[in-house]
């Protein structure tokens, strides 16, 4: 049997609709802050959905040279800023002796959609000679990884994951596996997304995936509520620094938590709809639990995928109940998407950060806007107010279009 390395979290960074750094994000989670408002990134007048969860008041110049930032898509800006935050938080140093042992994996469901859209407009109206030479490097979904590696000097295993709304969690899980196997000493990983564009919003609206609660956007993201009518599109990035326990101890790093389990599956069922009964999600949860040798009674919190769509919330509830049986009713389950909206490929990153903050600060973020119970969703969804409690193990679920399912398991370091 191989001698697997234990893997710990030593740095966290976040750019979100409820906070542009870890302190702000933590406060937002504790207070149940609502990050949803009318769209300002473009004129939504002709759109059936006119609201989103935007990142606001982000000071790019603190992290990226203004000339450089103009050559980066918005999703890459978010990813690099969150990566720099996490890297600085970890106290990790990269030099000639260790650069090849430190890598980057940042997932994105869509990549540079803003660049694709704007340059397509230029091509259509002004012709091919006016298309920017930076178009391709700005729009490809691996560029958040590439730019973060360049900024930090990380020359180890680097890649990008694009499994829709599971991308950020897959990136963390894949980085975890590399560290377990001893292929790296540290990994910078998570997700980034910036899809609040005319095409992004129109596409999801046409697919009937979004909420159309234009008269009350602040209550539109209501996971597990009986009157949920779709998700609210969000943007941002969440990044972790993972290290082998040996490497972290060697440099006397502060350790937030340990990642102990990773499960990933595919429904092989439908391009957008989850498998009936949440069987694929349940299989991912079981794999993560088995991977971490976790007893059911050790799980004290589940950060749900919880999109606020009819199909996801019902099927995720079924998935949890199929694994935990009667104990399902004793496990707090909350959706932080009620506050941040749905960051698509970036959601797994900020939700992993939420789990780590929950473990570190012993609280469970709420599911805000929960008013009307749904008989099909009958678990403890931590309605409307955060809850102080001791947490030993936290699970984070992410499910994506194409049937991609991921569950990550985090625990306090024992």
pLDDT tens per residue across span 151-169: 999 999 999 999 999 999 9
Instruction: Report yes or no on 361 lying in a domain.
Output: yes
Domain boundary among 250, 274, 291: 250
pLDDT tens per residue across span 258-301: 999 999 999 999 999 999 999 999 999 999 999 999 999 999 99
3-state secondary structure of 182: coil
Name the active-site residue from 49, 342, 377, 404. Answer: 342
Determine whether 19 is exposed, middle or buried from the number of CB atoms within 10 Å of its CB (0-12, 13-18, 19+).
buried
- Based on the fold, state whether residues 166 and 59 are members of the same structural domain: yes
**Alpha-carbon gap, residue 77 to 59, rounded angstroms:** 11
- Based on the fold, state whether residues 216 and 360 are members of the same structural domain: no
Instruction: Report yes or no on 194 lying in a domain.
Output: yes
- Based on the fold, state whether residues 298 and 383 are members of the same structural domain: yes
Name 37's bridge partners: 52
To the query of whether residue 5 is one of the catalytic residues in this protein, the response is: no
| CATH code where residue 13 lies | 3.40.47.10
Domain with 203 in it: 7-250
Which has more confidence, 204 or 66?
204
- Based on the fold, state whether residues 144 and 288 are members of the same structural domain: no
31-36: long-range pairs with CB below 8 Å, 24+: 31/386, 32/339, 32/365, 32/366, 32/368, 32/384, 32/385, 32/386, 33/339, 34/218, 34/339, 34/368, 34/369, 35/234, 35/339, 35/340, 35/341, 36/217, 36/218, 36/220, 36/221, 36/232, 36/341
For residue 313, pLDDT beyond 90: yes
Chain CA centroid to CA 338, Å: 14
To the query of whether residue 296 is one of the catalytic residues in this protein, the response is: no
Domain boundary among 199, 222, 250: 250
Q: What is the mean pLDDT of the chain?
A: 97
**Alpha-carbon gap, residue 64 to 74, rounded angstroms:** 12
The model's confidence at residue 335, banded by pLDDT at 50, 70 and 90, is very high
> How much of the chain exceeds pLDDT 70, in percent?
100
Chain CA centroid to CA 172, Å: 10
Domain boundary among 206, 229, 250: 250
pLDDT tens per residue across span 389-414: 999 999 999 999 999 999 999 999 98
Tokens 């049997």 sit on residue: 1
- Based on the fold, state whether residues 69 and 109 are members of the same structural domain: yes
Name the active-site residue from 5, 49, 189, 305. Answer: 305
pLDDT tens per residue across span 27-75: 999 999 999 999 999 999 999 999 999 999 999 999 999 988 899 999 9
Instruction: Report yes or no on 322 lying in a domain.
Output: yes
- Based on the fold, state whether residues 18 and 92 are members of the same structural domain: yes
Distances (CA, A) of 43 to 39, 123, 213, 250, 379: 7, 21, 17, 52, 39
To the query of whether residue 165 is one of the catalytic residues in this protein, the response is: yes
For residue 1, pLDDT beyond 50: no
Instruction: Report yes or no on 257 lying in a domain.
Output: no
Q: What is the pLDDT of residue 390?
A: 96
For 224-245, what is the mean pLDDT? Answer: 98
Name the active-site residue from 5, 49, 165, 407. Answer: 165
DSSP 307: -
> How much of the chain exceeds pLDDT 90, in percent?
98
- Based on the fold, state whether residues 132 and 61 are members of the same structural domain: yes
For 76-91, what is the mean pLDDT? Answer: 98
Instruction: Report yes or no on 1 lying in a domain.
Output: no
Q: Which of 74, 44, 68 is nearest to 56 (CA)?
A: 74
Number of domains composing the chain:
2
- Based on the fold, state whether residues 283 and 400 are members of the same structural domain: yes
pLDDT tens per residue across span 98-119: 999 999 999 999 999 999 999 9
């Amino acid at each position: 049997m191989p001698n697997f390395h234990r893997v710990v979290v030593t740095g966290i960074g976040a750019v979100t609709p409820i906070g542009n750094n870890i302190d702000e994000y933590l406060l937002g989670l504790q207070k149940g802050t609502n990050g949803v408002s009318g769209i300002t990134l473009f004129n939504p007048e002709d759109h059936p959905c006119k609201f989103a969860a935007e990142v606001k008041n982000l000071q790019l110049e603190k992290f990226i040279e203004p000339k450089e930032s103009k050559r980066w898509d918005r999703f890459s800006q978010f990813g690099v800023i969150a990566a720099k935050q996490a890297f600085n938080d970890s106290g990790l140093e990269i030099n000639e002796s260790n650069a090849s042992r430190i890598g980057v994996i940042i997932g994105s469901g869509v990549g540079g959609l803003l660049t694709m859209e704007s340059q397509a407009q230029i091509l259509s109206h002004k012709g091919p000679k006016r298309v920017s030479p930076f178009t391709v490097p700005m729009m490809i979904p691996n560029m958040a990884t590439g730019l973060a590696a360049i900024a930090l000097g990380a020359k180890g295993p680097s890649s990008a994951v694009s499994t829709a709304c599971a991308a950020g969690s897959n990136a963390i899980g894949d980085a975890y596996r590399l560290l377990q196997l001893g292929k790296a000493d540290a990994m910078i990983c998570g997700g980034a997304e910036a899809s609040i564009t005319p095409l992004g919003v129109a596409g999801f609206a046409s697919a009937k995936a979004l909420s159309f609660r234009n008269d009350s956007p602040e209550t539109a993201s209501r996971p597990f509520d009986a009157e949920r009518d779709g998700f609210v599109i969000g943007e941002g990035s969440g990044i972790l620094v993972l290290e082998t326990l040996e490497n972290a101890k060697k440099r006397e790093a502060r350790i937030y938590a340990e990642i102990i389990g990773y499960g990933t599956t595919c429904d092989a069922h439908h391009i957008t709809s989850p498998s009936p009964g949440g069987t694929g999600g349940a299989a991912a949860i079981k794999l993560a639990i088995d991977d971490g040798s976790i007893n059911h009674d050790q799980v004290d919190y589940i950060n749900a995928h919880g999109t606020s769509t009819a199909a996801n919330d019902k099927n995720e509830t079924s998935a949890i109940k199929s694994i935990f049986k009667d104990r399902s009713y004793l496990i707090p389950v909350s959706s932080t998407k009620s506050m941040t909206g749905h960051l698509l490929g970036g959601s797994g990153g900020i939700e992993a950060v939420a789990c780590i903050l929950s473990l570190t600060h012993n609280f469970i973020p709420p599911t805000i806007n929960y008013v009307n119970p749904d008989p099909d969703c009958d678990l403890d969804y931590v309605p409307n107010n955060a809850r102080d409690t001791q947490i030993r193990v936290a699970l984070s679920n992410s499910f994506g279009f194409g049937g991609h399912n991921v569950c990550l398991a985090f625990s306090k370091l024992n």
